[in-house]
Amino acid sequence: MADFKPFTAYIVDACRTAGGKRNGRLSGYHPAELGAAVCDALIERTKVNAAEVEDVIFGCVSQVGAQSGNIGRGVVLSSRNLPESVPGTSVDRQCGSSQQAIHAAAQAVMSGVHDCCIAGGVEVMSLVPIGASIIDGLKAGHGNPMDDATMQKYAEKMKAFEQFNMSSQTFSQFGGAELLAKKYGLSREDVDKFAAVSQQRAVASTKAGKFADEIVPLPVKRKEGQSEGMHTQDEGIREGVTVESVGKLKAMFPNGVLTPASSSQICDGAAAVLICNERGLAKLGVQPLARIHSLALAAADPVIMLEAPIPASQKALQKANMKIQDVDIYEVNEAFASVPLAWCKALNADFQKLNVNGGAMALGHPLGGTGAKLMTTLVHELRRRQGRFGLLAICEGGGTANATIIELMPTSKL
């Protein structure tokens, strides 16, 4: 073992569905079917031998109903290209689930345990609503995910939610987002401006065709059984959004600054990333788009909940011996406007490099699918502008976060 030299994890390709609104154009898809669609597209785009994929690792948050029973394996079985000999597994690190799937796949190929994996994620929120696994469990008498000792430990801190007229008896991402805004001195005007910018950037990028290389066109399939044409464009983007129009919305909570416009959109979607080491590249006969340069995790206060992308990003940069100024673009999930804005402030990052094509406030946040979705956008945007480094960070329920730094390969030319 003293002579062991780790391999490098490479991103060969990445693709995603266009986001679907709640009860919108993708609402009639089964989650396994939607996940299989992006995996099939990966295989077809790269022309690789699907039998060489050694594991399919899929993130999903609400693993209940149609998303239960190991959705990762369900994706393989639903696929028209992946043979049944390919295993599949599921990951839940809340909103960072498919970013964790990418980390797990990277770690597998870096160790040499596997040479080729698909990492991805899916969430059909129209079918399995946010919080369904917790709510259904409580209704069935299966208990609360937080035990009494945990609730007692944080009871005093949770009283801070009362200033927003929220319950102090449970953890809340909404409460955490408001506390984060307060801690970093973010005003209603700050979050309104960012919400408008997110929509404006998403509209401009869509019109410029910037998402064309990453989106997998799919037939429209609505819950009601209607089908009309192809779904090729993120359904949540809105033209004509301004700071003034966002400013007319009522805050969601008394004394709070956040509105529906400065919060992520409910979204149906899936994304997948093909990850290989040197042996895998040779075996498949492919060239990579990027390599994974640094991986990091962090955990912080579960009451404020959404602050951990800051220490996770700092760790990733430190591991790579880099500064934030070395990074060309960053994707920080817009769970709420306060999350990327606090991150930007804490890291002294350049706002013009942040979520340059818009984020979840405009394009949607398909929970367990978001990590792979944002990685897809990051690698394609980095390639388009011929930058070198990109950083991805996502806040997660429970106060954790993943951060990933990727480096564009010199061979990856448009």
DSSP string, 102-141: HHHHHHHHHHTS-SEEEEEEEEETTTS-TTHHHHHHHHTT
CB 399 within 8 A of CB 300: yes
* DSSP-derived 3-state class of residue 299: strand
**Would residue 169 count as lying in a domain?**
no
60 pLDDT band, cuts 50/70/90, is very high
- DSSP assignment letter at 206: H
Q: What is the pLDDT of residue 245?
A: 97
Quote the tokens at residue 379.
């690698």
The pLDDT score that the predictor gives to residue 165 is 96
What average pLDDT does range 307-327 have in this prediction? Answer: 98
Any domain includes 2: no
In this predicted structure, the answer to whether residue 7 has a pLDDT above a threshold of 90 is yes
Residue 335's domain spans which residues?
Answer: 10-130+185-406
Percent helix, strand and coil across the chain, each to the nearest 5: 40, 20, 40
Q: What pLDDT, on the 0 to 100 scale, is given for residue 42?
A: 98
pLDDT tens digits, one per residue of 327-351:
999 999 999 999 999 999 999 999 9
| Residue 181 main-chain phi, psi, to 5 deg | -60, -45
Considering only 40-54, 108-122, 212-226, which range has the smallest mean pLDDT?
212-226
| Mean pLDDT, the chain, whole residue set | 96
* pLDDT > 70 in the chain, percent: 99
Q: Is the dihedral of CA 239, 95, 27, 89 positive or negative?
A: positive
**CATH number of the domain encompassing residue 124:** 3.40.47.10
Own/partner contacts of 140-148, CB < 8 Å, gap of 24 or more, are 146/170, 146/171
pLDDT at 27: 96
Residue 141 lies in a domain: no
H/E segment holding residue 77? helix 71-78
Number of domains in the chain: 1
Supply the pTM of this predicted model. 0.97
Q: 414 pLDDT band (50/70/90 cuts)?
A: low
In a domain, 96, yes or no: yes
CB neighbours of 287 closer than 8 A, spacing ≥ 6?
Answer: 12, 281, 409, 411, 412
Q: How far apart are CA 34 and CA 92, in angstroms?
A: 18
Residues 387-409: what's their mean pLDDT?
Answer: 98
In a domain, 411, yes or no: no
Using pLDDT thresholds of 50, 70 and 90, give the confidence band for residue 359. very high
Q: Is residue 178 part of a domain?
A: no
**What per-residue confidence (pLDDT) applies to 412?**
66
- Cα–Cα nearest to 358, from 174, 186, 207, 179: 207
Going from the C-alpha of 413 to that of each of 342, 382, 387, 389, the distances in angstroms are 34, 10, 11, 15
How high is the pLDDT of residue 188?
98
Of 188, 173, 177, 338, the C-alpha closest to 249 is: 188
What is the structure's pLDDT at 413?
59
Q: Name the DSSP letter for residue 219.
A: E
What 3-state class would DSSP assign to 389?
strand
pLDDT at 25 over 80: yes
**In whole angstroms, what is the distance from residue 317 CA to residue 319 CA?**
5
Whether residue 225 has pLDDT greater than 80: no
Report the catalytic residues. 95, 365, 395
Domain assignment of residue 29, yes or no: yes
Whether pLDDT at 132 is above 90: no
Residue 131 has pLDDT above 90, yes or no: no
| 167 domain-assigned | no
| Stronger pLDDT, 133 or 341, i.e. the higher one | 341
